[in-house]
Structure 1
Amino acid sequence: MLLALQATTIMIISSLMMLVSSILAKKTFMDREKSSPFECGFDPKTSARLPFSLQFFLIAVIFLIFDVEITLLIPMITIMKTTNTSNIMFLASAFIIILILGTFHEWNQGALNWAL
């Protein structure tokens, strides 16, 4: 009991000492450049709305969709040991055909066209 009381007292005293030293050691000089966050060379005081190409966003969304669909194909490899191989091959082939048709559709719609 006495040891816990001593440890608590020491922790409270050291916390108070650190608090007092941080208050006393504060610099009152405030520089605009030092108080602003570093944003990789960009001035954070200006407008945060910068023009962004919608083409990059569309490519990112298409990549995300197809990446998730490819991730759904991975468990089919482990299932091949326990189920009928012809059923799995049929499902995997149908899934890949759907992916290819989706890619052709995006290509025909012009989402994959990089010409400006």
Structure 2
Amino acid sequence: MFKLIVSLMMASIVSLGLMIVCTIISKSTILDREKMPPFECGFDPKSSARTPFSLQFFLIAILFLIFDIEIAIILPMIITLKISNITSWMFTMIIFIMILILGLYYEWKNGMLEWTF
């Protein structure tokens, strides 16, 4: 127990010492005007951050992510086909795919997939 406490104290002292040394020898100044403003991918940070955004684009992006994750779940299920019970595997796959198809039908029926402005 004593060795553990000594090791934690030594690690804390070394890390604190390194932080202090780095702060002392760093050449950057706190009030540097060129480094103070936020960098936003080349855009002017003084402009409005609330630009119009298409909700349809967001919904289609979410739909893409859902189907992308679906593929990541289905592919390992194909590999486990050899070592699992065929009836439980088939039941699981049918339920999983039916949930995805019902979700797609719901989005299609509500007009979420139509790209309108």
Q: TM-score range by the shorter chain?
A: 0.5 to 0.7
The TM-score with structure 2 as length reference comes to 0.59
Deviation (angstroms), 1:69: 3.2
Aligned to 1:44: 45
> Helix, strand or coil: the match of 2:112?
coil
**Post-superposition CA distance 1:67-114 (Å, at most 9, x none):** 333322233122212122243123212321221221111111111101
Aligned to 1:101: 102
Distance 1:109 1:22 in 2: 59
Alignment of 1:1-116 (within 5 A): 19=25, 22=27, 34-35=34-35, 36-116=37-117
Flag structure 2 segments of 5+ consecutive residues without an equivalent.
1-20
Distance 2:27 2:88 in 1: 70
Flag structure 1 segments of 5+ consecutive residues without an equivalent.
1-14
Q: Which structure has the higher relative contact order (CA within 8 Å, separation 6+)?
A: 2
Deviation (angstroms), 1:41: 4.0
The TM-score with structure 1 as length reference comes to 0.59
**Post-superposition CA distance 1:6-44 (Å, at most 9, x none):** xxxxxxxxx79x94x948xx8xxx77xx55455344211
